[in-house]
Structure 1
Amino acid sequence: MLKWLAAILRAEWGGPGWLRLFDYLSVRTMLAALTTFVISLIIGRLMIRWLHDRGYRDVVEDYGVIDVGNKRGTPTMGGLIIILAVLAGYLLWFDVHSKLAWAGLASLLWFGLLGLVDDLYKIRGGSGKAGLSQGVKLFLQTAFAGLFVWWMLSPLSPVPPELRTQLYIPFMKAPLLDLGLYFIPFAIFTILAVSNSVNFADGMDGLATVPVAIVYMVYAVVAYVIGNEIYSAYLNFDYVAGAGEFAVLAGAIIGACLGFLWYNFFPAQVFMGDTGSMALGGLVAVMALLLKQELLFLIAGGVFVVEGASVLIQEKIGIRWLGRRIFYRAPIHHAFQHRGVAETKVVIRFWIVAMLLGFIALLSLKFR
């Protein structure tokens, strides 16, 4: 918004020279991060009180040997803090003409609304199992994914036609293959898998927040490189005009997540809930698809991949096929907790792993 206003001021009246700062992606990215961080800190305390007073409190499943008593009654739907901070902060610094920006915001709002409804059903039903049925959630997620893929493959897409269905692998310069029509189910699966894997990881105080911020940091760098003709040529990436706008959006997400972490770290004053985890997962999936770096998430978001895989293995292979549990609890972080590892230790170790995976993902930009 301010970039657009600054351009008008310079065109009409010349304007002061410092208005040119809004043309720099790096400046807008840092300002977006700072803005959303401050906003999330300010509205966080107010939102926590509002959620608590209205009874929007988490319904924690009792795992028997795992003590969850100290979490009962903690306000949930804290993802609203992140979403509102991003909307208020990012809209100040984004490029109003960017199709990528609007696609990102659409995914954030769609999945955020879906998560919000799911949280409300759980609270109303008094159980973590009382949310939207798995079938309804998958249908609504698939509906968005289908609309998104149609748009991405249409003439309206900002992605060059020759790149839209290509599949790239980290550490390789050339695309592995052209998926053609198979890109449609691949893209839909990517959106469903990524959004739900982030959702599965949100089970301990602060567990999902830092790894999410790290994933967005990686994609911010990727977006900056791919959206710059010089850097993309130097690092052997296919240039996508306007892709750098995702760096600004990712910066806004990072700032909002850090502000949210202020209240979410142990002992948490608020939980992200499906409102936040689905929104953040859905958005990063859309970013990965539009930047043509879908498989990079397997590295940068390795923590989420393992969390999601543990649930899939437990439910589909262990319980359904073998008739027994493979892990004592899934997602995998509860299995560590069952072994007696303190919650804060599990969380910090997951953070360390996420940081190391983030570094490896960034190295893949150069070692190609």
Structure 2
Amino acid sequence: MIYEIANFFIQMSESLPFFRLVNYITFRAIMAALTAVIFIFLFSRHFILFVHRRCLLDQVRETGIDSAFDKRGTPTMGGVLIIGAVLCSMVIWGNWRNPFLLCSLGGMLWFGLIGFYDDIAKVRRKSGDSGMSERSKLILQGIFGLIFAWICVGPYSPLGPELSTKLYIPFYKHPIIDLGPYLYGLFIFLFLIFVSNAVNITDGLDGLAITPTIFVVGVLGIFAYVEGNKIYSAYLYYPYLREAGELTIFGAAFVGAGLGFLWYNAYPAQIFMGDTGSLAIGGTMAVISVLLKQEMLFPLLGGLFISEAFTSQIQDKIGVRWVGRRIFYRAPLHHDLQHRGIAETKVVIRLWIVAGILALISLATLKLR
């Protein structure tokens, strides 16, 4: 809104230097982050009270960890706040003609709606294990995956025909292979589903998922700034993506929303993000990674989410179903650490530290190529 209004006044008169600020990505990114934080602070208390009155409370799953039952009755669906803050910020500071922004917002809303329906189903059935079926979730996630893959490899790809099907890896300047539209489309489809569910699995302790999310989206925002700048991308040997800089503003809004949400989600949590938040965050991170050609950076940058997902899947699919016994004491990773006697707050902070270190290493790949 402000972006369009400011550009309208710039066209009307050349003597309005203040309005030129909106054409600087750094200025809009800072303002977008501040807007998202303010939104969270203004509406969180009212939203928490609303959720309490509607009895939209968390339905605790059986994990074998006694401390988990202390959280019964905590308001859930806090992801609505995160999505609302990002949307509000983008309405004010975003360029809604930018295809990178539209794809990212589409991913956030689609996956957020899947999570919202899942949260509602759990509340209605009064069970944390009675939400949407795994098959239904995968089908709905897959629909968006197919649409997004078609956009990325098709004639309307925001990446352009030269880059749309090429695969990049960290620490190497050039694409390692051109997968072609079908293989790369399949890769995008699987990547999107895996990353969105990895964040969902990680969201199990107060504040655990949101801080690594801030690290991951913050780093991807820096990559967007580099790749969207012709000079910086050429200097660092990254593909130049003409309109990708808008993702810096989107990422800044997400970071602001995450910081504001952490205020209420830190131990002891006043509200949980629920599947509404975790699926929206996962879908958003996956979409941004694909748009920036940083899919192969995510195993490093989002290493915490990857390890949480793998421990959960190994325990369930291989240990319980195939071998017939548990491989880990508990799964995913954070519950295994709790089972070993580490306090919840210490588990969360230590995993934050790991996520922060991985983010710093990922930043180093900007130059170490």
TM over 0.5: yes
User: What amino acid is the match of 2:330?
Assistant: R
For 2:194 and 2:341, the matched residues in 1 are separated by 29
Deviation (angstroms), 1:113: 0.4
Structure 1's unaligned 5+ residue stretches are: none
Q: Which residue of 2 aligns with 1:66?
A: 66
1:81 alignment counterpart: 81
Deviations 1:283-308 (A, max 9, x none): 11011111111011111111100001
Q: Which amino acid aligns with 2:24?
A: Y
In structure 2, what is the Cα distance between the partners aligned to 1:344 and 1:299?
24
Match of 2:364 in 1: 363
**1:343 & 1:168 partners in 2: Cα distance?**
37
* Amino acid corresponding to residue 125 of structure 2 in structure 1: G
Shift of 1:65: 4.4
Cα shift at 1:225? 0.4
The residue aligned with 1:336 is 337
Q: Which runs of 5+ in 2 are unaligned?
A: none
Counterparts of 1:1-368 in structure 2 under 5 Å? 1-14=1-14, 16-180=16-180, 181-368=182-369
1:302 and 1:119 map into 2 onto residues whose CA distance is 26
* Aligned counterparts of 2:65 and 2:108: Cα–Cα separation in 1: 36
Shift of 1:315: 1.1
The residue type equivalent to 1:152 in the other structure is C
Aligned residues: 368
Compute the displacement of 1:15 (Å): 5.2
Once the 2 structures are TM-superposed, how far is the Cα of residue 64 of structure 1 from its aligned partner? 3.7
TM-score by length of 2: 0.98
Partners of 1:9 and 1:15 within 8 A in 2: no
Give the CA deviation at 1:96.
Answer: 2.0
Q: State the AA in 1 paired with 2:334.
A: H
SS in 2 for 1:263: helix
C-alpha distance in 2 between matches for 1:64 and 1:272: 22
Give the distance between the partners of 1:278 and 1:63, measured in 2 at CA: 20
Q: State the distance in 2 between where 1:39 and 1:235 align.
A: 36
- Work out the CA distance in 2 between the residues paired with 1:352 and 1:259: 19
Inter-partner Cα distance in structure 1 for 2:91 and 2:112: 17
Which piece of structure 1 moves more, 89-98 or 209-218? 89-98
Q: Is the 8 A contact 1:228 1:244 kept in 2?
A: yes
Conserved in 2, the CA contact under 8 Å of 1:146 and 1:188?
A: yes
* Length-normalised TM-score, structure 1: 0.98
Q: Does the CA contact (< 8 Å) of 1:168 and 1:293 recur in 2?
A: yes
Provide Cα deviations, 1:245-289, integer angstroms capped at 9, x if missing partner. 111000000000100000000000000100000001101101111
SS in 1 for 2:67: coil
Letter of the 1:51 counterpart: V
CA contact (8 A) 1:311 1:330 kept: yes
RMSD: 0.9
CA distance in 1, matches of 2:15, 2:78: 41
In the alignment, is the contact (CA less than 8 A) between 1:159 and 1:290 conserved in 2? yes
Paired letter, 2:94: F
- Structure 2 vs 1, CA of residues 15 and 54 (structure 1 numbering), >3 Å: closer, same or farther? farther
Q: Is the 8 A contact 2:65 2:338 kept in 1?
A: no
Identity %: 48
- Name the amino acid aligned to 1:304: F
Greater mean deviation of Cα atoms: 173-182 or 350-359: 173-182
What amino acid is aligned across from residue 204 of structure 1 in structure 2? L
Amino acid at match of 1:155: P
> Displacement of 1:55 after TM fit?
0.6
Amino acid paired to 2:184: F
Give the 3-state SS of the residue equivalent to 1:110 in structure 2: helix
**How big is the shift at 1:14?**
3.4
Work out the CA distance in 1 between the residues paired with 2:96 and 2:247: 13
Residue identity opposite 1:111 in structure 2: F
User: Structure 2: how far apart are the matches of 1:217 and 1:65?
Assistant: 32
Does the CA-based 8 Å contact 1:36-1:90 persist in structure 2?
no
Paired with 1:185 and 1:271, the residues of 2 have a C-alpha distance of 33
- 2:3/2:93 contact within 8 Å kept: yes
Q: Secondary structure at the match of 2:97?
A: coil
Distance 1:241 1:133 in 2: 40
**Comparing 311-320 with 354-363, which one deviates more in the overlay?**
311-320
Distance (Å, rounded) in 2 between the aligned partners of 1:64 and 1:87:
38
